[in-house]
C-alpha cells in the first residue's frame, strides 16, 4: 500500500479540498438526536463565554466611573464594629488578630468581635489571644456559640445583637487587612445612599505553587473585570463575604443575615440593592488573603460558591425580574447568578463530544470549521482574553507571564466540572448541606509546608470519576490523531490534563478514611501558649 503524501499542502488538499465523497453522507435520526443537544449545549456555553467579552467591554467603556476617593469626609468618625467569624482556624487566628489590632482607628470608636463557632483547639487559642489583646487595651471581645446554627450567617447575625457600631466591617480568618483599611473605606459612607463598600482581594501566597498562581489569576479576573465592570456600569454586584464594610441600616432594611443559601453574602447583597442601597467597589484598596494550597481545599471552596450562587439565583432572581430595575441590570443579574450552570453543560458536552466528532467527521471539515470552531472559540477562548486583560490591568509590565498559565487555567476550570456539577445539581433539587469551610494552614512562602491533615476533607468518589473521564478524553485524543483531526487535539488535551490533574492532586493530597500521606512538618509555630 502506498503511503499517503506528507506535508501541510497535501494535508490541506486531502482534508479540506477533496470533494470525492461530498454529498454521500446523509444525517439520520440517530445522528440528529446527538447533534441537536450537542449544538444546543455549545450555543449555551458560547452565550456565557460571550458574556465575558461584554464584561471586558463594560470595564473599559466606563473606566471614567472608577471610584477612588470618597466624595466627602467625616468630621467625626463614626463607630465601627469589626466582626471576625471563625470556625476551626487555629493556624491563622493569631495572624488575623494581629492585623486587626493594628488597624488605625480611634479605639473609642472601634469594637472587635471574635465570633467563634469552633469545635477544636481553636477555642482555647482564640480565647487566649483575645484576653491578651484586651489586656493591652484593645476593644475586643470573644463570643463562642455551642452550635453552628446558620453557620457563618448565623454567627454574624448573633454578633449583630451586641454590635455597637453604625458600620460593620467583616473579615474571614485568612485575611490580613492593611492598617489604613478602615480610614480608606469609611469616608465613602458620607453619601447616605451607600450601603456597602467592597475592596479587592490580593494574595499572600500567590507564588507558593503552580496551583496558587492559577487560583490568583482566577480571582483577579473576578475582582478586576467582573466587579469593576458591574460597579462602573451601575449594575448589581455582590459583597464577597469579607474585606468589606457595611452600613448597619442597609443590613437590617434588607432583612438581615439569612442562612438558607451557602452564599449569604451574595444573597444579602442583592436584597440590599433591591431596596435601593448603593454599593461601591474600590479596586485600589487591597486586602491580602491566603489562597488554598491543596486541591481538595480549592475544590471545597469552589463547590460551595457554585452551589451557593445557584441557591441564591433560585431565591433572588424572581425578585430581581419582578423589580423595577433596568432591563440591563436584570440581564446581568441572570448571567451572574446562573453562570455555574455552565458546569453541568460542560459535563453534557464531555459526553457528546466523541460521538459528535465521529458524525461531524463524515459531514465534512468545512462545516466543522465554520460552525463548530467559532462556537468553541466563543465558549472557551473568551476565558483566555478575560483573564489576560485582568493581568494586564494589575501587572502592566509582567502580564505576559500569565500566558504560560492560561492553558492550565482553562484545564483547571474543566477539571472542576464534576465537583461543581454535583454542587449545582444539589442546589437545583434543593438538597441542603453544611457550610464547608476552606481549610487554611498559614502557608505563605515556598519554604512553608503543610504537615497537618486534620482539616483535610475525606475523599469520595469524585476523584476517581475525574480520572475515568480523563481517560475517556485520552481516547478521544487517540481517535482525533488516528483520523488526522489535529485541529481538535489541543482542545481535547485540555480536558485530559484538567480531569487528570484535579483527580490525581485530590488523591495525593487527600486522605482515605483517616489514613493520610506522609508529609513534612509545618514550619509555622503552633499558636498556643499566648
**Quick one: cell of 80?**
465601627
- What size, in residues, is the chain? 530
Mean of pLDDT values over 67-89 = 95
| Rounded Cα distance, 339 and 45, in Å | 10
Query: Which residues does residue 115 pair with via DSSP β-bridges, in sequence order?
Result: 85, 143
Q: What is the pLDDT of residue 373?
A: 62
pLDDT of residue 248 exceeding 50, the answer is: yes
**Quick one: cell of 254?**
434588607
Q: What is the pLDDT of residue 513?
A: 37
3 state SS for 135-160: HCCCCEEEEECCCCCCHHHHHHHHHH
pLDDT in tens, 440-471: 778 877 666 655 555 555 567 899 999 999 99
Other C-beta atoms closer than 10 Å to the C-beta of 188 total: 20
CA angle 226, 445, 517 (to 5 degrees): 100
**Quick one: cell of 400?**
505576559
pLDDT band at 357 (very low <50, low <70, confident <90, very high): confident
| Rounded Cα distance, 287 and 201, in Å | 5
HSE of 104 in the Cβ direction (CA atoms, 13 Å)? Answer: 7
pLDDT of residue 492 exceeding 90, the answer is: no
**234: left (phi > 0), else alpha (psi -120 to 50), else beta?**
left
pLDDT of residue 56 exceeding 80, the answer is: yes
**81: left (phi > 0), else alpha (psi -120 to 50), else beta?**
beta
| Rounded Cα distance, 155 and 267, in Å | 16
Catalytic residue set: 117, 265
Q: What is the pLDDT of residue 81?
A: 98
Task: Map out the domains of the chain with their CATH numbers.
Answer: 69-309 (3.90.550.10)
Mean of pLDDT values over 127-139 = 97
pLDDT in tens, 295-345: 999 999 999 999 999 999 999 999 999 999 999 999 999 999 999 999 999
CA angle 44, 423, 91 (to 5 degrees): 130
Phi, psi dihedral angles at 60 (to 5 degrees) = -80, -35
Q: What is the pLDDT of residue 520?
A: 36
| Rounded Cα distance, 417 and 410, in Å | 11
pLDDT of residue 27 exceeding 70, the answer is: no
pLDDT in tens, 159-193: 999 999 999 999 999 999 999 999 999 999 999 99
| Rounded Cα distance, 238 and 430, in Å | 23
Q: What is the pLDDT of residue 223?
A: 97
pLDDT of residue 525 exceeding 50, the answer is: no
Mean of pLDDT values over 279-283 = 98
Q: What is the pLDDT of residue 522?
A: 36
pLDDT band at 360 (very low <50, low <70, confident <90, very high): low
HSE of 521 in the Cβ direction (CA atoms, 13 Å)? Answer: 4
Of 30, 455, 66, 343, nearest in space to 224 by CA: 66
CA angle 116, 118, 121 (to 5 degrees): 115
pLDDT of residue 484 exceeding 90, the answer is: no
DSSP state of 525: P
Q: Return the residue matching grid coordinates 463562642.
A: 144
Using DSSP bridges, classify how beta strands 194-203 and 244-247 pair: parallel, antiparallel or unpaired. antiparallel
Q: What is the pLDDT of residue 1?
A: 41
| Rounded Cα distance, 11 and 166, in Å | 71
Q: What is the pLDDT of residue 377?
A: 65
8 A C-beta contact, residue 352 and residue 38: yes
**Quick one: cell of 432?**
441542603
Instruction: Return the minimum-mean-pLDDT range out of 69-83, 271-285, 423-437.
Output: 423-437
Mean of pLDDT values over 501-513 = 78
DSSP state of 519: -
Q: Which residue has the higher pLDDT, 428 or 459?
A: 428
Using DSSP bridges, classify how beta strands 511-512 and 167-170 pair: parallel, antiparallel or unpaired. unpaired
**Quick one: cell of 119?**
469545635
CA angle 128, 134, 140 (to 5 degrees): 95
* % of the chain exceeding 90 in pLDDT: 68
SS3 176: coil
205 burial level (CB within 10 Å; 0-12, 13-18, 19+): buried
Most distant CA atoms of the chain, gap in Å: 91
| Rounded Cα distance, 499 and 477, in Å | 14
Mean of pLDDT values over 58-73 = 94
C-alpha separations of 160 from 183, 186, 222, 225, 367 in Å = 22, 19, 29, 32, 61
pLDDT band at 31 (very low <50, low <70, confident <90, very high): confident
Q: What is the pLDDT of residue 19?
A: 55
8 A C-beta contact, residue 116 and residue 142: yes
Q: What is the pLDDT of residue 21?
A: 47
Q: What is the pLDDT of residue 451?
A: 52
Q: Which residue has the higher pLDDT, 56 or 1?
A: 56
8 A C-beta contact, residue 74 and residue 186: yes
**How many Å separate Cα 299 from the centre of its chain?**
10
| Rounded Cα distance, 57 and 228, in Å | 11
Strands (E), 441-500: none
Amino acid at each position: 500500500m502506498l503511503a499517503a503524501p506528507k506535508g501541510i499542502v497535501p494535508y490541506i488538499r486531502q482534508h479540506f479540498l477533496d470533494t470525492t465523497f461530498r454529498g454521500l453522507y446523509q444525517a439520520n435520526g440517530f445522528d440528529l438526536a446527538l447533534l441537536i443537544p450537542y449544538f444546543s449545549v455549545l450555543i449555551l456555553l458560547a452565550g456565557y463565554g460571550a458574556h465575558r467579552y461584554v464584561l471586558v467591554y463594560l470595564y473599559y467603556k466606563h473606566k471614567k466611573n472608577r471610584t477612588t476617593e470618597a466624595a466627602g469626609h467625616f468630621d467625626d468618625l463614626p463607630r465601627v464594629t469589626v466582626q471576625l467569624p471563625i470556625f476551626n482556624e487555629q493556624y491563622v487566628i493569631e495572624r488575623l488578630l494581629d492585623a486587626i489590632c493594628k488597624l488605625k482607628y480611634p479605639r473609642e470608636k472601634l469594637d472587635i468581635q471574635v465570633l467563634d463557632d469552633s469545635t477544636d483547639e481553636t477555642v482555647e487559642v482564640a480565647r487566649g489571644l483575645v484576653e491578651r489583646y484586651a489586656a493591652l487595651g484593645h476593644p475586643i471581645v470573644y463570643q463562642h456559640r455551642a452550635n453552628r446554627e446558620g453557620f457563618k450567617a448565623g454567627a454574624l447575625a448573633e454578633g449583630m445583637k451586641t454590635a455597637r457600631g453604625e458600620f460593620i466591617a467583616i473579615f474571614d480568618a485568612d485575611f490580613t487587612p492593611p492598617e489604613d483599611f478602615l480610614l480608606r473605606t469609611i469616608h465613602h459612607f458620607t453619601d447616605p445612599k451607600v450601603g456597602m463598600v467592597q475592596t479587592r482581594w490580593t494574595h499572600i501566597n500567590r507564588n507558593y505553587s503552580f496551583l496558587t498562581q492559577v487560583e490568583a489569576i482566577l480571582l483577579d479576573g473576578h475582582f478586576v473585570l467582573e466587579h469593576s465592570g458591574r460597579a462602573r456600569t451601575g449594575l448589581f454586584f455582590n459583597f464577597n463575604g469579607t474585606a468589606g464594610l457595611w452600613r448597619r441600616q442597609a443590613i437590617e432594611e434588607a432583612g438581615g443575615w439569612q442562612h438558607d443559601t451557602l452564599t449569604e453574602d451574595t444573597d444579602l447583597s442583592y436584597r440590599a440593592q433591591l431596596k435601593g442601597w448603593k454599593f461601591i467597589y474600590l479596586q485600589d484598596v487591597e486586602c491580602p488573603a491566603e489562597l488554598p494550597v491543596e486541591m481538595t481545599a480549592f475544590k471545597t471552596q469552589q463547590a460551595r460558591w457554585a452551589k451557593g450562587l445557584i441557591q441564591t439565583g433560585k431565591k433572588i432572581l424572581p425578585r430581581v425580574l419582578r423589580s423595577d430595575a433596568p432591563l440591563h441590570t436584570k440581564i446581568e443579574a441572570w448571567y451572574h447568578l446562573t453562570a455555574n450552570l455552565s458546569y453541568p453543560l460542560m459535563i453534557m458536552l464531555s459526553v457528546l463530544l466523541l460521538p459528535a466528532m465521529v458524525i461531524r467527521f463524515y459531514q465534512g471539515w468545512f462545516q466543522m470549521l465554520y460552525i463548530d470552531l467559532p462556537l468553541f472559540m466563543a465558549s472557551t477562548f473568551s476565558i483566555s482574553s478575560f483573564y489576560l486583560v485582568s493581568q494586564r490591568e494589575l501587572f502592566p509590565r509582567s502580564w505576559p507571564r500569565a500566558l504560560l498559565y492560561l492553558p492550565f487555567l482553562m484545564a483547571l476550570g474543566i477539571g472542576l466540572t464534576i465537583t461543581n456539577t454535583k454542587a449545582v445539581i444539589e442546589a437545583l433539587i434543593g438538597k441542603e448541606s453544611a457550610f464547608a469551610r476552606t481549610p487554611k494552614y498559614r502557608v505563605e512562602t515556598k519554604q512553608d509546608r503543610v504537615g497537618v491533615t486534620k482539616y483535610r476533607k475525606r475523599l469520595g468518589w469524585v476523584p476517581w470519576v475525574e480520572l475515568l473521564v480523563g481517560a475517556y478524553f485520552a481516547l478521544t485524543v487517540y481517535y482525533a490523531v488516528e483520523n488526522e483531526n489535529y485541529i481538535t487535539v489541543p482542545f481535547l488535551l485540555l480536558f485530559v490534563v484538567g480531569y487528570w490533574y484535579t483527580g490525581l492532586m485530590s488523591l495525593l493530597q487527600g486522605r482515605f478514611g483517616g489514613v493520610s500521606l506522609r508529609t513534612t512538618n509545618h514550619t509555622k509555630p503552633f499558636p498556643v501558649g499566648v
